[in-house]
Chain A
């Protein structure tokens, strides 16, 4: 797939000279961007001012007839604005000023007296008002990644250059050189008018342009887009709305007004709590994508997975496409057949989306060996078990495996709630036992929660993290205990959700309440996704471990549902009914009947919509803070990342810890006290939360 594009700059950056250099090739100025302090180029103040200076010099040099703008970094043109730069701004005015500087630079380049060709290799921030309404909307609002060929079709770029293989130099180096050669040739061609820039528009295009230009049509487009945005964001994310505003201003009132609106709005948005939350998540994710535990002594090359269920097959899928030799073992042929199908379907979806060729799919599948015996386990470097959540079964499997695997082999358990030390109790070498908690569906959910016990060796941890990173996961490392971190936070919230249902709030209403708070998946749907049986299991186990604090809804509700076969999405029925091809899911009336049986009366003092939302969230948050207090979590960053990427905690709130910071610990505590009065200790704030409430200067995030 081609990775490079050219486009004529309608956008770009500003000022200084360690970052930007240029040389003349005949009458073409080749401007090179290279931030010496980073792996990627960003539009930092330095970059912008240097570029501005260089452009000035070039424009004043009569011998220069055209220019090429290129990055010296393989795979990165300009990754975007410098987040640190924006974060360093104290006020919205500062950001607005930065934005305006940027706009000036872009505008200058756009109005450049000589043609400027941008030769783009890899990631590039795109955009611009010029792209044409619908295309631009889609791209700007969703932050979509566009493949090079698509970008050409959309008219964002004019010409594509294919990456080269190795020649007399390494491929990457030669590719950039080649890109530059082609760009210089193109620049010359444009300068001496041998290459025409604009194609004659086709009839359809003209027609489309005319229609799009009509007032009512434009209004309709704004309206449709706004509605769509509202539906998707629930009004929780301010940026898309502002973007529509800017474009509307630009189209209706002209460029200058559009630019001004853009800069001002950008300034305002940069200082919103949503912006801080999302930047925090971005930075947290960068931290959680590094291996802080060193290089493992032995790289894992051969992985064995026990259990070809949803989880096992999912783990296999994300392993084989990274080149890991993977065994998928189950006890029955039917099991591996289903598992292999799942992996095939997962990869084939990528083929349909053209992210993979069918040949690559088949080559990837050749890394998978599905089997019902232990052949090959004697050379495995790591075994991940994803068998049924029953300590006795786990012990049996562990003993069987340890009899076969080589001494260096790591045993990882993909359990969602059983303490790892309990599982390790049956092991001859507990230092090689670790927890690797994946989230379903594994190929979509980015989080991996790694659990260590007191006995887990450092090298085992380093190895597990390195495998997880290879699988493309964002990793948090937490301490051992019932439910670890993520399950432990989710359980009280689900218990509360069951109580809410028992109190007469229907599943649909419950979903609406949670999604409008920012959860991507509603609480009732989430229970169905996780599996009602799993939820029941976890609720019971953790209930035993933590006592009444984990109470709330009646576990019998879940158990009765399971008895009736309502295990959630996987069984076709849970809180909702799932069927093939049905878009609108309908409420499972039989489940409602069960709820009716366990009906509780809703105390009016804590049953407003907002109260229900906060009952759910505060239990989640309190448990998260308690995990930090107890040392299950080592820091709030991992707590936020785990909650958002593993459990769907509202990203706009940035995670439970950032939520406490921005919502105010004191406010949260007083709210919880009110709930505590009605329901008891399930809402008793933990000590760390109380400390924060007492001292407002205490923040989880600086």
Chain B
């Protein structure tokens, strides 16, 4: 089987970056993984009227700190490596946040560049940090609706080379220059350029509606929930320590190595750096000065990377001889105040998705939450544990409760592994699937916050062994 898949599933592509090159990896590994554990017996979430949709495979590039390795631009041909017959894929959906104007439908360009058939349509979605979640759930929707049977969904972010624009005045001058008819007009326009026109416009991770940067908002959120600096540093340290352990134990099997032209083969996430509380305590606040609590060490860092998953209807997967990793079950999207509750997505989405699935917190064996900031995670945990918050802001009777630490982000998280905005969602889902297999759990929960005050959660069920 392995050989059959070899070379095939070129999971989706990605942008100008070589993003998606990773994908190569034979599906057989999954079976080995599965063999290790025994699944607990809980009822399945399968419903008679709803199609079973499965995660067949999930892969990603190593997540690399921006500006470290992916210096040269990615090229298109590297998407080959995952194995699936080219014609088995019906559709490709990719998520991305910072878009390159030349490749605004990056999914299509990447698919073509990766050698996928030009008969496979592809589209790009964007929803801030939950862009690839949106890509996956769009795929689920298309399969559920009977439009397709096999969809590659993924995400890519390449923060080392974000588009930087000319200033508005300069753009205006340049556009007018195009239209200028005579030499005199052109010279006039050129003469109107002032030094100030040359200052570029850098993209910022700031809310459009409030102009507040996310880190600033995270700091205020942490303060609002009384999260201390020490709590944040401890959580960040935990993330790095667990990530290191998982990396050393070879648990991060979704990572696929690739060759950077002119450089070494990259095969590991390079942002994992367990430090000490003392060292972390030395850092000055990064956003709110001088009394803030969010620092570079307890925030996720700018990251390059790409991820992809293959999602199929269960029937199709089985018919093609694949062994699925997990069922993708209920999911929800939520949104709230982008100013004061910007990063509270998980608090809002968790109880909602559990309700939909008919589960409680106790039923969940594996939790994977996106760690934007340690303060944001801690604030969410406190909000989820507050009856007052649930009643006052969510219109619920009582709190949903907090995930137990021993089930929470055990293989590290965005704080340590990195957070390529558009690619994190697939990493979370794949990690849940792998952890369920490894730990023998039945249900997993993914939750994430996103810019714009939005949030997402999804319930994942282990595929019977």
Contacts and interface: CB of A to CB of B under 8 A. Distances in A.
Interface string B352-390: 000000000000000000000000000100110010110
Contacts of A165: 220-221, 224, 337, 339-341
B389 A168 contact: yes
A162 B388 CA distance: 23
Given A357-B211, A359-B209, A166 B389 contact: yes
Contacts of B226: 167-168, 174
Interface in B33-82: none
A74 to B, nearest CB: 15
B392 interface: yes
Among A166, A171, A182, A185, chain B packs the most CB atoms within 10 A around the CB of A166
A686 interface: no
A188 to B, nearest CB: 12
Nearest to B341: A165
B291 interface: yes
Contacts of B337: 165
B340 A162 contact: no
A197 to B, nearest CB: 13
Given A165-B339, A359-B209, A359-B210, A178 B392 contact: no
Nearest to A178: B223
Among B291, B382, B392, chain A packs the most CB atoms within 10 A around the CB of B291
A57 to B, nearest CB: 28
B224 A161 contact: no
Interface in A137-172: 159, 161-162, 164-171
A186 interface: yes
Contacts of B341: 165-166
Contacts of B208: 359
Among A167, A168, A182, chain B packs the most CB atoms within 10 A around the CB of A167
A168 B340 contact: no
A171 B340 contact: yes
Contacts of B339: 165
A648 B165 CA distance: 51
Contact of B224 (A159, A171, A186, A357): A171
Contact of A168 (B209, B211, B216, B386): B386
Given A159-B290, A186-B291, A164 B220 contact: yes
Given A159-B291, A161-B291, A359-B210, A167 B379 contact: yes
B291 A182 contact: yes
A147 to B, nearest CB: 15
B289 to A, nearest CB: 9
Interface string A228-254: 000000000000000000000000000
A644 B433 CA distance: 73
Nearest to A363: B209
Contacts of B290: 159
A169 B392 CA distance: 10
Contacts of A174: 224, 226
Contacts, number: 57
A335 to B, nearest CB: 32
Interface residues of B, number: 26
B408 interface: no
A161 B223 CA distance: 11
A167 B223 CA distance: 8
A167 B225 contact: yes
Nearest to B392: A166
Nearest to B289: A159
B291 A167 contact: no
Interface string B391-412: 0110000000000000000000
A166 B216 CA distance: 15
B57 to A, nearest CB: 41
A165 B223 CA distance: 9
Contacts of B210: 357, 359
B266 interface: no
A164 B291 contact: no
Contact of A162 (B209, B220, B225, B382): B220
A171 B210 CA distance: 18
Contacts of A170: 392
Nearest to B339: A165
B380 to A, nearest CB: 11
Nearest to A162: B220
B427 to A, nearest CB: 29
Contacts of A359: 208-211
Contacts of B388: 168-169
B288 interface: yes
A167 B376 CA distance: 12
Contacts of A164: 220, 223-224, 340
Nearest to A169: B388
A166 B291 contact: no
A170 B211 CA distance: 24
Contacts of B340: 164-166, 171
A178 B383 CA distance: 17
A162 B221 contact: no
A592 B53 CA distance: 87
A165 B290 CA distance: 20
A433 B348 CA distance: 47
Contacts of A159: 290-291
B267 to A, nearest CB: 42
Nearest to B388: A168
Contact of A167 (B209, B211, B216, B224): B224
Contacts of A357: 210-211
Nearest to A163: B220
Contacts of A167: 221, 223-226, 379, 382-383, 389
Contacts of B209: 359, 363
Nearest to B379: A167
Nearest to B212: A162
A598 to B, nearest CB: 54
Interface in B209-257: 209-211, 216, 220-221, 223-226
Interface in A346-389: 357, 359, 363
A546 to B, nearest CB: 55
Contacts of B224: 164-167, 171, 174, 178
A41 B226 CA distance: 28
Contacts of A169: 388
A170 B386 CA distance: 13
A170 B224 CA distance: 9
A174 B290 CA distance: 19
A162 B215 CA distance: 13
A454 B210 CA distance: 49
Nearest to A161: B291
A121 to B, nearest CB: 14
Contacts of B225: 167-168
B401 to A, nearest CB: 15
Nearest to A165: B340
Nearest to B209: A359
A35 B216 CA distance: 34
B216 to A, nearest CB: 8
Contact of A185 (B216, B220, B291, B389): B291
Nearest to A167: B224
A7 to B, nearest CB: 15
Interface string B268-289: 0000000000000000000010
A171 B393 CA distance: 12
Contacts of B379: 167
Interface of A: 159, 161-162, 164-171, 174, 178, 182, 185-186, 357, 359, 363
25 contacts: A159-B290, A161-B291, A162-B220, A162-B288, A164-B223, A165-B224, A165-B340, A165-B341, A166-B341, A166-B393, A167-B226, A167-B379, A167-B383, A167-B389, A168-B383, A168-B389, A170-B392, A171-B224, A171-B340, A174-B224, A182-B291, A186-B291, A357-B211, A359-B208, A359-B209
Q: Which 4 residue pairs across A and B have the least CB separation, nearest first? A: A165-B340, A167-B224, A164-B224, A167-B225
Given A159-B290, A167-B225, 14 more contacts: A161-B291, A164-B220, A164-B224, A165-B221, A166-B392, A167-B224, A167-B226, A167-B383, A168-B382, A168-B389, A169-B388, A182-B291, A357-B211, A359-B208
